[in-house]
Structure 1
Amino acid sequence: MLTALSIRDVVLIEALDLDFGAGLGVLTGETGAGKSILLDALGLVLGARGDSGLVRHGSAQAVVTASFDIPAADGPIAALLGDNGLSIEPGEPLMIRRLVKADGGSRAFVNDQPASAGLLRELGAMLVEIHGQHDDRGLLNPRGHRALLDAFARADAGAVSAAWREWRAAVARLEEARAAQAVAERDREWLAHAVAELTTLAPEAGEEERLAERRATMQRGERVAGELTAVADLLDGSDGALSRLRQAARILERAGEAHPALVDALAAIDRAIVEGAGAQDQVDVAADALAFDPAVLEADEARLFELRGVARKHRVQPDELPALSEELAQRLALVEGGEAGLAGLTRAADAAEARYVAAAKALSATRAEAAGRLDAGVAAELAPLKLDAARFRTTVAPLPREQWGADGSDRVEFEVSTNPGAPFAPLMKIASGGELSRFILAMKVALAEEGGARTLVFDEIDRGVGGAVASAIGDRLARLSTRNQVLVVTHSPQVAARGRRHYRIAKSSDGTVTRTGVTPLGPDERREEIARMLSGAEVTPEARAQAERLLAA
């Protein structure tokens, strides 16, 4: 609900602050007083084009600020704000401010945070509907008719939406599997050859490193084999160093008593024998470790060459060959068993489609039944609004399969025929300005304002009518205002008398500057304004009495 509107330097409005409330608010004034300026200012905060021509002459910029109470802090408006990085606390008003500069350009703010004009338009569509002679939104936009009919029917479109998402997900899985199957089928011969090759090769994790290390060890042994044999012969051969040391030790054992020095010499030779034997043992250990079989070395080198060659062919590291073998085997299995898998996914997609079609048909039936009730409801409102020759219908027609969606399989559009025998057509194409506003009012009343903005603005809906028709318009506006905030710009005293709040728009001039102002009226002022609307320039006692009767009624 619109709670306040502040305007600074917009055309003839220098400074204006208005408070609004629930129910029906009426705005009256003489022709040319500036009612359109007020609506233009409201349009700015709702995302209309920021024309620099709206800036008051001599001012640097025009500023319009609107305050709204929104129904819930977790509703669609709050969700839209959240999607745009904005937030609103429970109970906090929604403040929209728009600045338009005299030299061009504009800026917008939502709760003092910068916002785009596009966001203002989205918010505006949720907050306010302005219905005038050139309106092309709200009830006149066929894109919103389906949602309005669903709200009127209390239809559960959520089941259709859920079935649609399930169907599309099943189709996506099927298409993905088909694409994978097509790729795999194309590569089937190559896959079979590669899997056979890798299966025969049977690579193992870490195998290359183990083979490379063993080959390097055997290659080192091959290089030093002769040296190790020569060392062994020098140390422990029949004429080797250890054999001669042992011979010397036996001689010294026999001659050792001849001199103490010989005992020391024998001890030194014994130590040399022990050290030499230890050296011989280490040489033997090394020889064993470095021992190689030329056939084994040749086999290892061949295996390494084969592993590395296959790895290069598949552009992977040798250690990645086992994983590649498993992956290619799975792909080959997909090709060989793919038809069965595709058949299962096809059955799942067909079943999901059947569920969607059933839900969409049920929704279509609900829409068709509700369309009949809506048509009857609108028809009942037409005659009192001097549209008794007009006919209204809600068209519910099947969409082509390619246009089915989360909202169902129907096209919904409101159509009218304004004269007997005339064909039905979209409302905005065949109705005049006054008829258009009255058609919208009839539909709003019949729809009980389902699914629309909570603030409705009607611009001169009573143009060209009077008497009983104007009274009927006022009655229906009052009925609408029990559920919504309704603001109406009117020249009809019958409509003005039904308002809960009354604002007079007037233009004044001091000889050099012309200004437009808006004044909330009290009871006496209101009676005087309605009397003026009844009698014209000179307010007569009869006009005041008639105004009194209208207000009392």
Structure 2
Amino acid sequence: MLTGLSIRDVVLIEALDLSFSDGLGALTGETGAGKSILLDALGLALGVRADSGLVRQGAERAVVSATFDLPASHPVGLLLTESGLDAEPGEPLIVRRIVKADGGSRASVNDQPVSAALLREIGGLLVEIHGQHDDRGLLNAKGHRALLDSFGDIDLDGLARAWDAWRAAEDQLAEARAEVEEAERDRDFLDHAVKELRSLAPEAGEEDTLAEARAKMQKGDRIADDLTEIAELLDGSDGGLAKLRQAARRADRIAGEHEVLGEALAALDRALIEADLAEEKLAEASHILAFDPARLDEAETRLFDIRALARKHRVDPDALPALTEEMAAKLERIEAGGAHLAALEADVAAKRAAYVVKADAVSKKRTAAAKALDKAVAGELAPLKLDAAKFHTAVETLDDAQWTASGQDRVAFEISTNPGAPFGPLAKIASGGELSRFILALKVALAEQGGAATMIFDEIDRGVGGAVASAIGERLSRLAQGAQLLVVTHSPQVAARAGHQWQIAKSSDGLVTRTGVQRLDDGERREEIARMLSGAEITEEARAQADRLLEGV
């Protein structure tokens, strides 16, 4: 709900601060007083195209701020979150627009800068302005299907699920077809590659194992001669160990002759122990590093084959087993491709049929809802001086390519304003005054919920009076129940229906002309409605008639 509007330096408005309430509010005033300026200023705050011509003469810039109180569930909250803007639930929402006299503008929401495009999107969720040049809301055919579904209480959840299932099956079929076609193109290559891979049969981790074994065997090859020479130096009757043992035996015979000889014998014994250990370790090393040249050649050949195959397929050697299975699976799918595709095609056909069944059911409900809506709107036209007009909700079946999760129908609200005239879009057929009244009739018939927080009707009563104006006022009052609706009006019958009334007036001090807005109390409302009834000179009869209008609501 719009709760406040602050305007600075817009055309004839120097400074203006207004507060608003829910229900029906009327903006009245003499022709030329500046009612359109007020709407233009509000439009700026809601994101309409900025025009430096709106800046008051002599001012550097125009500033308009609009304050809204919105429920936590209002869609503006989600839009702000998705746009990365801070919005505290329960706190007022303030939209502001600054237009410079030399061109350019800035926009903000809760003091956070936003683009004009985002401000327009936010403004469209906050306020609906219905007038002669309105091309949004009910005039936008893109929203007519959703409005009809809401009117007919048509549930689209089942249809949407059927659509999603059908599209998922279509995607799966398309993917399978592309895969089979690609595999067919590569059939010869796949066949050769699988045979080559299976012939080599590489295993995960085998490259590391082979590389490690090859390195050990190569090391053994390098030191084999040294090990043999060392063994020859140690072993045999003339080897180092034999001579050391001989020396130990001779030392043993003379060790008792002197204690130093005993120490020498002990040292020889220790040397023999270490030499035996060395001989044991050398034998162990010879065994560990022993290699068969044939085995080395075999290991190298397999290692190089595995690496070459990995390079050929541009994968890591450890990925070759998985690649073998993947390629083999592709070959199998080629063989079973026809049957697999046939099964998928059957699944697509079944899911399409399920969607069509649900879509047909929705179409029937839409057709029935369209008839009910046509009847409801028709009942509103005559009291609004549109008795020669006809309203028609067109429900047209679309081509398959245009079907969506919402069904297979295009819905459009159409009118014919004269007997025998063809039906056409609202905005193209109706004149300014007719258009506003058609919108009002539709609003009342639809009993639309969940629209913008505030609705504004601009001179909906243009060119009518008496009973028609009274009918307009009654419908506006009904539509404003539990909501906020503002109407710019010249009709006393409409103004009398309002719960709140503001008078827009122009004043001049001889040098500067200004537009002001005053909220009227009960007595002031009586005088303003009397002026609307009688013109420049307010008569007692006009005041009496004003009293009757105010008492009759």
Of 266-275 and 33-42, the range deviating more from structure 2: 266-275
CA distance 1:69–1:163, shift in 2 (3 Å): farther
User: Which amino acid counterpart does residue 501 of structure 2 have in structure 1?
Assistant: H
Question: Could you say which residue in structure 1 is the equivalent of 2:400?
Answer: 401
- Residue type at the aligned position of 2:322: A
Give distance in 2, aligned partners of 1:493 and 1:241: 133
Q: Equivalences for 1:48-63 in 2 at 5 Å?
A: 48-63=48-63
Matched AA of 1:192: D
Deviations along 1:260-291, one digit per CA (max 9) or x if unpaired, are 99877776666655554444333322322232
- Post-superposition shift, 1:351? 3.3
Query: Residues 373 and 275 from structure 1, CA distance in 2 versus in 1: closer, same or farther, beyond 3 angstroms?
Result: closer
Q: Is residue 36 of structure 2 the alignment partner of residue 36 of structure 1? A: yes
Specify the alignment match of 1:384 in structure 2: 383
Q: Return the letter of the residue paired with 1:69.
A: D
Q: CA deviation at 1:258?
A: 9.1
Q: Decide which moves more: 290-299 or 52-61.
A: 290-299
Query: SS at 2:523's partner residue?
Result: helix
1:4-23 equivalent positions in 2, closer than 5 A: 4-23=4-23
Amino acid at match of 1:517: G
Seen in structure 2, the aligned counterparts of structure 1 residues 279 and 540 have a Cα distance that, compared at 3 Å, is closer
Aligned partners of 1:66 and 1:95 also within 8 Å: yes
Per-residue displacement from partner, 1:215-249 (whole Å, max 9, x unpaired)? 33333333443443333333322443444555666
Counterpart amino acid of residue 50 in structure 1: A
CA 1:277–1:368: 2 relative to 1, 3 Å? same
**What SS does the aligned partner of 2:217 have?**
helix
Moved more, 246-255 or 495-504: 246-255
User: Aligned pair in 2 of structure 1 residues 449, 308: CA closer, same or farther (>3 Å)?
Assistant: closer
State which drifts further: 342-351 or 106-115. 342-351
Matched residue type, 2:35: K
2:104 paired with 1:66:
no
Which residue pairs with 2:349 in the alignment?
350
CA contact (8 A) 1:374 1:394 kept: yes
The answer to which of 270-279 and 502-511 deviates more is 270-279
One-letter amino acid of the counterpart of residue 40, structure 2: D
* Residue 485 to residue 270, structure 1, CA distance change in 2 (3 Å): closer
| Closer/same/farther in 2, CA of residues 235 and 550 from structure 1, 3 Å limit | closer
Aligned in 2, Cα 1:226/1:122: closer, same or farther, shift over 3 Å? closer
Secondary structure of residue in 2 paired with 1:405? coil
For 1:448, the equivalent position in structure 2 comes to: 447
Partner of 2:363: 364
Q: Distance in 2 between matches of 1:170 and 1:62?
A: 56
Aligned positions of 1:96-115 closer than 5 A? 96-115=95-114
Q: Distance in 1 between matches of 2:119 and 2:246?
A: 113
The amino acid that maps onto 1:408 is G
User: 1:87 offset after TM fit, Å?
Assistant: 4.4
Question: Per the alignment, do residues 282 and 483 of structure 1 end up closer, same or farther by CA in structure 2, a change over 3 Å counting?
Answer: closer
| CA distance, structure 2, for counterparts of residue 326 and residue 276 of structure 1 | 57
What is the aligned partner in structure 2 of residue 515 from structure 1?
A: 514
Stretch deviating more after TM superposition (72-81 or 322-331): 322-331
Q: SS of 1:107's equivalent?
A: strand
Q: CA deviation at 1:56?
A: 0.9
Q: Please state how far the C-alpha of 1:34 moved relative to its aligned partner.
A: 0.4
Counterpart residue identity of residue 51, structure 2: D
Partner Cα separation in structure 2 for residue 96 and residue 264 of structure 1: 106
Go from structure 1 to structure 2 and tell me whether the alpha carbon gap of 1:146 and 1:451 turns closer, same or farther (over 3 Å shift). farther
Q: How has the CA–CA distance of structure 1 residues 272 and 80 changed in structure 2, closer, same or farther, with 3 Å as cutoff?
A: closer
Q: Deviations over 1:322-348 (max 9, x none)?
A: 333333334334434444444444344
Matched with 2:26 is: 26
Aligned residue for 1:506, secondary structure, equals strand
Contact 1:151–1:451 (CA<8 Å) still a contact in 2?
A: no
Corresponding residue of 1:289: 288
In structure 2, what is the Cα distance between the partners aligned to 1:47 and 1:263?
Answer: 113
Going from structure 1 to structure 2, the CA distance change for 1:190 and 1:470 (only over 3 Å counts) comes to same
- Provide closer, same or farther for how the CA distance between residues 226 and 429 of structure 1 changes in structure 2, counting only shifts above 3 A: closer
Q: Give the equivalent residue in structure 2 for 1:477.
A: 476
Deviations 1:119-177 (A, max 9, x none): 22222222221111111111111111111111111111233233323322332233223
Equivalent residue pairs, number? 552
Q: Which amino acid aligns with 1:435?
A: E
Q: Residues 252 and 132 (structure 1 numbering): CA distance in 2 closer, same or farther, change over 3 Å?
A: closer
Structure-2 separation of matches of 1:452 and 1:254: 121
Percent pairwise identity? 65
2:466 is aligned to: 467
In structure 2, the residue matched to 1:414 is 413
Cα distance in structure 1, aligned partners of 2:264 and 2:524: 143
1:283-322 equivalences under 5 Å are: 283-322=282-321
SS in 1 for 2:497: coil
1:217-256, aligned counterparts within 5 Å? 217-244=216-243
Equivalent residue number for residue 184 of structure 1: 183
Q: What is the distance in 1 between the residues matched to 2:505 and 2:255? A: 146
Determine if contact 1:147/1:451 at 8 Å carries over to the other structure: no
Moved more, 281-290 or 537-546: 281-290
Kindly indicate whether the alpha-carbon contact (under 8 Å) linking 1:73 and 1:89 is maintained by their aligned counterparts in 2: no
1:292-344 alpha-carbon deviations (Å, 9 max, x no partner): 22222221222222122212212233333333333333433443444444444
Tell me the residue number matched to 1:173.
Answer: 172
Q: What TM-score does the superposition give when structure 1 sets the normalisation length?
A: 0.93
Call closer, same or farther: CA 1:461–1:266 in 2, change over 3 Å. closer
* 1:417 Cα deviation after fit: 0.8
Provide TM-score, normalisation by structure 2: 0.93
Q: Which residue of 2 aligns with 1:46?
A: 46
In the alignment, does 2:152 pair up with 1:153?
Answer: yes
Q: Aligned pair in 2 of structure 1 residues 501, 269: CA closer, same or farther (>3 Å)? A: closer
Change (3 A) 1:539 1:360: same
Per-residue deviation at 1:372? 0.6
Q: Which deviates more from structure 2 when the two are superposed, residues 272-281 or residues 425-434?
A: 272-281
Alignment-derived partner of residue 538 in structure 2: 539
Q: Distance in 1 between matches of 2:539 and 2:249?
A: 160
- CA offsets 1:385-409 (integer angstroms, 9 cap, x no match): 2211111110011111111112221
Distance 2:488 2:262 in 1: 137
- Does the aligned pair in 2 maintain the 1:148–1:450 contact within 8 Å? no
1:3 is paired with a residue whose SS is strand
In structure 2, the residue matched to 1:138 is 137
* Deviation, structure 1 residue 54: 0.8
